[in-house]
Chains A and B, each alone.
Chain A
Amino acid sequence: RKEVEQDPGPFNVPEGATVAFNCTYSNSASQSFFWYRQDCRKEPKLLMSVYSSGNEDGRFTAQLNRASQYISLLIRDSKLSDSATYLCVVFSGGYQKVTFGTGTKLQVIP
């Protein structure tokens, strides 16, 4: 089993739709979690951290479920500019071992 797993997609959704991605992780000792966004042929950039209590940033909501070992990202009112690959990132271990998921591709269509 991979340490961090994501559905690769692609998710093709119309503008204005709500879309959700999940990411599962295998290491129960994982400490911190992030969602990154990567545009085509660009480097990944932080979208948002994921806090235990869940957090929201505008149209984006991230949640963590430690019991089931997954994190989620919800995007409301999708925009064309949301089209990108969304990477789940998990930090664990005293030396801050970091594991990236392979990413979920989102395509928002007019």
Chain B
Amino acid sequence: GAGVSQSPSNKVTEKGKDVELRCDPISGHTALYWYRQRLGQGLEFLIYFQGNSAPDKSGLPSDRFSAERTGESVSTLTIQRTQQEDSAVYLCASKRGGSYNEQFFGPGTRLTVL
């Protein structure tokens, strides 16, 4: 079956512009996560959605970052007024409910802010 998909795969933007990244999770997966990974660094948790519960936004680095998810489907991560330090790969993952189910990752969106 289809895995997690993300678009665009690459995005180059100018400092100060807004960008929107999209994630399509695996059908039936109630949980969705966004991560940021800078070059040579580990995964940095950004936000977590679980069904219709309030999202866990504790990892968002500033108020320029926001994310939405409609029900248990597509999610978008928006970065406003991008800065050069926002350059990274943004990874989305989804999983079924339950603690013992693993996350499945999308291929990521590589964001470059000039």
Contact = CB atoms under 8 A, between A and B. Distances in A.
Interface in B26-65: 31, 33, 35, 41-43, 45, 48, 50, 53, 56
Given A98-B33, A103-B42, 17 more contacts: A32-B100, A34-B102, A43-B107, A44-B91, A45-B105, A46-B102, A87-B43, A95-B56, A96-B48, A96-B95, A96-B97, A98-B45, A98-B48, A99-B45, A100-B43, A101-B42, A102-B42
Interface of A: 31-32, 34, 42-46, 49, 87, 89, 91, 95-103
Nearest to B42: A102
B84 interface: no
Contacts of B106: 43
A44 B108 CA distance: 10
Nearest to B92: A43
A91 B42 contact: no
Contacts of A101: 42
Nearest to A31: B99
Given A44-B43, A87-B43, A95 B108 contact: no
Contacts of B100: 32, 49
B53 A43 contact: no
B84 to A, nearest CB: 20
A46 B93 CA distance: 12
Given A43-B105, A45-B105, A96 B42 contact: no
A9 to B, nearest CB: 12
Interface string B84-114: 0000000100010101101111111000000
B7 to A, nearest CB: 14
